[in-house]
Structure 1
């Protein structure tokens, strides 16, 4: 009889990104939801992917409807009223110099936001985020999320931020050790959102958030499926985590993820970044190996073949 193997932890593969930002997005309500998501994935996404300096770019699309047991709230803590999002964007750089290159060139990107977003709010992460565990094998997912993934936003006060981060880190490390169905935990200790200046500086888009959203800590959590999630969150040690959070947080708001789309990883365009997210999905579903050959990628990137540079 074969012995079950321990799932591989890929957490260290995220260490190449040392500076990042976490941007929440709300699509324009004048757009049909399908059109909004198509534009975000296949028009805005490839444009962002090509801005110089970028090391990592991932879109997480949030569900507008979800199950009734998404996330248990600590005693005395409620979901933030009226807090709705259509997704988030994680952008990262290998260092501050690369971020500066991106910032200098980013006007061409931000001028496009008015076409698709009603609100974007960027939270700086000057020392990056921390992946506590990652048992998902694919480093560049693109498509409907095959796992049960959430983003959880915890409202914090300045004096409780460090305690919240420590509670989450210690609690989820213990939970991961006990729960093989917990596939990923990525912790984002967000800097407070600055309402005094448009961030990001995109014209025609709202960038001001209410008081309850200024100070947040965010965490990405993924389980094998919703039942595994509910079992884990209703048992120990998570109940101890929630008990500790009860006196530290002002609200807890969870968002279910429907799709994850990776456009840049380790400074390199993925097929989604090069061709568009849905085109990349078609290439994969058709097993079109020729479409991911280096010669084809070079042609699509430069308009020339490597063997005919002047063509």
Structure 2
């Protein structure tokens, strides 16, 4: 089955918007291991474990660079600075079509035991949050690459929002972020991709990993984030032109802007990608050698069995 065929969608936004639930995790790497080792381990050891568990509709790893306050104009009442200790280095993002798929994923021994027990090998701190059902939405995607591997083709950022203490309920803030920030921004001609992801107030990590700290590094926890890809960096500042800045300042205390250096897609449309099955270095080596037969469905099925089917494997059993 071709990806997305069963749902009648073949575009990235349509594929992502078919999902009901989203899991976001903010990760800080271990300080005693080089960051490049942590990132390689995350993608090629830890990441491929997810590709062996049915239930996920999409699973991506976003590698983040340091906060970029310089991209924004000065706005009274909003801070664009983030303390070094509070800046995450990685953000895994998973989508589930339904609550039943989330339960199936979580009850699998790999997801229940192996993945959490492995996290301490490269993660020093984690904060994972499950978005409200139906809250996340991809409003525009002109890039249309549902299985992106490597650096994004245009400047891409994760924008994280810290609400004002006097802000209304989390639900009201989520509506504001979705309808008054994300939706109008998505109409800007320079915006190539925009996804909005509301987050619940952070209490404790939704993912328990033995040996990994779960407390947030400071009191500026996020109540939502946007994935924003733009034609050029100048578009970011344009989004706060005019009255939009004053309105944002009434709701938002801080905006932290993390450039996305690389994206690795482990699962797309319910099935593992080649990177999810083999790891990125192996796939790159196969491509460089021109070994096309190694990328065929027949070989992958022989090597990886039912893992190749991903979510389809779960459907066949129910």
TM-score by length of 2: 0.82
Deviation at 1:67, TM superposition (A): 5.8
Who is 2:139 aligned against? 132
Are residues 269 and 186 of structure 1, via their aligned partners in 2, closer, same or farther at CA, if it must alter by over 3 Å?
same
Deviation at 1:242, TM superposition (A): 2.5
Corresponding position: 1:207 with 2:207: no
C-alpha displacement of 1:172: 4.0
Asked whether 1:256 is paired with 2:256, we answer no
C-alpha contact (below 8 Å) 1:154/1:217 kept by paired residues: yes
* CA distance, structure 1, for counterparts of residue 88 and residue 114 of structure 2: 24
Quote the residue 1:182 is aligned against.
191
Tell me what 1:241 maps to: 244
SS state of the match for residue 111, structure 1?
Answer: helix
- Note the residue ranges of structure 2 that are not aligned, 5 or more in a row: 1-9, 307-318
Give the equivalent residue in structure 2 for 1:102. Answer: 105
* 2:127 aligned partner: 121
Question: Which deviations, in whole Å up to 9, do the C-alpha atoms of 1:45-96 show, x marking residues without a partner?
Answer: 10122123222110000124x7663344632221343421111011121100
Q: For residues 236 and 94 of structure 1, what CA distance do their matches in structure 2 show? A: 31
User: Contact (CA 8 Å) 2:16, 2:95: kept in 1 or not?
Assistant: no
Question: What is the rounded CA distance, in whole Å, between the counterparts of 2:239 and 2:201 in structure 1?
Answer: 31
Q: SS of 1:159's equivalent? A: coil
Q: CA deviation at 1:287?
A: 4.8
Contact 2:195 2:226 in 1 (8 A): yes
Deviation at 1:9, TM superposition (A): 7.2
31, 34, 37: which one aligns with 1:35: 37
Asked if 2 retains the 8 angstrom alpha-carbon contact of 1:9 and 1:135, the reply is: no
SS at match of 2:162: strand
| Structure 2 counterpart of 1:265, from 244, 250, 268 | 268
1:103 CA drift (Å):
1.4
Q: TM-score, normalised by structure 1?
A: 0.84
Partner of 1:127, secondary structure, is coil
| 55-64 or 279-288, which deviates more | 279-288
| Distance (Å, rounded) in 1 between the aligned partners of 2:24 and 2:241 | 25
Distance (Å, rounded) in 1 between the aligned partners of 2:176 and 2:54: 35
Q: After alignment, is 14-23 or 154-163 more displaced?
A: 154-163
In 2, the alpha carbon distance for the partners of 1:291 and 1:182 equals: 37
**Number of paired residues?**
288
Per-residue Cα deviation, 1:150-198 (whole angstroms, up to 9, x for no partner): 001111246164246435544443344341x311100011112223xx5
Deviations 1:1-22 (A, max 9, x none): xxxxxxx974222122111111
Root-mean-square deviation (Å): 2.5
Range moving further from structure 2, 74-83 or 102-111: 74-83
Write the distance in 2 (CA, Å) between the matches of 1:211 and 1:67.
Answer: 19
Q: CA deviation at 1:255?
A: 0.6
| C-alpha distance after superposition, 1:229-276 (max 9, x if no partner) | 31x233366443332110111211111110000001121010111111
**3-state SS, counterpart of residue 23 of structure 2:** strand
Contact 1:53–1:101 at 8 Å: present in 2 too? yes
CA distance in 2, matches of 1:285, 1:171: 43
Q: 1:291 to 1:201 in 2, by over 3 A?
A: same
Contact 1:199 1:207 in 2 (8 A): no
* Alpha carbons 1:167, 1:244 under 8 Å: kept: no
1:308 matched residue in structure 2:
none
CA distance in 2, matches of 1:245, 1:68: 16
State which of 190, 201, 211 in structure 2 corresponds to 1:192: 201
Indicate whether 1:74 and 2:81 are aligned.
no
